[in-house]
Structure 1
């Protein structure tokens, strides 16, 4: 007997890519459980599927930076309970210093839908009852007909896992000018923010303010203290855009709207910005 749950959850996270550097992603998760019926005539109670499996996914990967543990481009160490990571991608070297829970080290040489799914299956299967013989997870990107971009960020003021300095999303955007969808503007912003790290100006620091990392000459350096601990990031400047606000989706939507208005004040703009799948904010200018 096979029990299935479509759209169980969405994993919003970032990962390190050999060519593209740090990359924000959002994967929808579908679940299948194969096994015998238990004494309640179920393979596994749907309520427990959502509680046990979704909670495990949240703890293992969601809102973390996923790293291929066996990649030759990676080096890492631990200093004073802070995990330091250096990743030498084709786009430049990314350095991080974060608490251990900000990372997900996944076996293999690359991060993709399959390697993340296999990792989660191996970690979650022991949490399930004995009658469940097999757990299968399918990770898939949202089908988007319009324009979208991948972005990474950190929210130091957040009281949950969004405070981690390198997590992200794959997000669509819809920009309207004078009530009409504006494909050119949507395309321009998605190209501008393709595989971007969005940094808050107030988190930008000079190299002497860092405790654990040594930036390159062409890096931006970010640092902050959050509830989960101390976070630092050094990343090539061409991999970033610095914004004068927090990088919540509300602030990003408003930032895009204000930038559009500055460029052409004769139009009225509406910006529908998404944070991953099925959620976001709307701003007007």
Structure 2
């Protein structure tokens, strides 16, 4: 199937979006959550696939090992709001999951998440990554993924990223909105990508404590090996080899997975502009982002 024309951004309840994330909105909004559902929420390019696979292995590595060799990760952890013509809708894939807990991925800002997740007190894992690496990753991702607007040149893209002229809106509003939710909703576990990179084992322990899980040392070791970036990049079921509308010849879906790659892209002036911008917008106790580890 030929790639559709690049979408236009439009305002959607105060958030920039494209049709590929809103065309099925009434069904997404009315999604019927279950109490044991687990939501993986992120701003795009913040470690979503990494944490989705980590959770999939934690829950089903022993009980359903066959899925790890037969079913792409995007089928195991559906992308709730995704709606691409000619392909299964994310909401429908989530409805069709038969094993529990259902793992469900979303990039929605907190105010747009379907109400039933909150009504059922579902557990939510939110992953946040520093804005400089997100911007660089998003730039390359947008180059190869035709469900996002074309990125244009790097400097223009960076400015639009800071201005929130991206699908899902401004990065700073997204991470702050979910951080504020965490203060009043105890079933939300907020993870920083940089912490995962620096000490994966420690972060898995914290995640297991939140989820009420106690994997054996052998299970944990197996999970840590499976979710290493290079192993996931080589795994056709996690690297989006067969995902629709991605041109992997332009850029791989899993590119580098490092903290600090922004240094290879930012000029001094761009870095200063970015620092000044986020200094104004990220000023909440405890919400701090590291741009290197």
What is the TM-score of this pair, normalised by structure 1?
Answer: 0.27
Q: More strand per residue: 1 or 2? A: 1
Q: More helix per residue: 1 or 2? A: 2
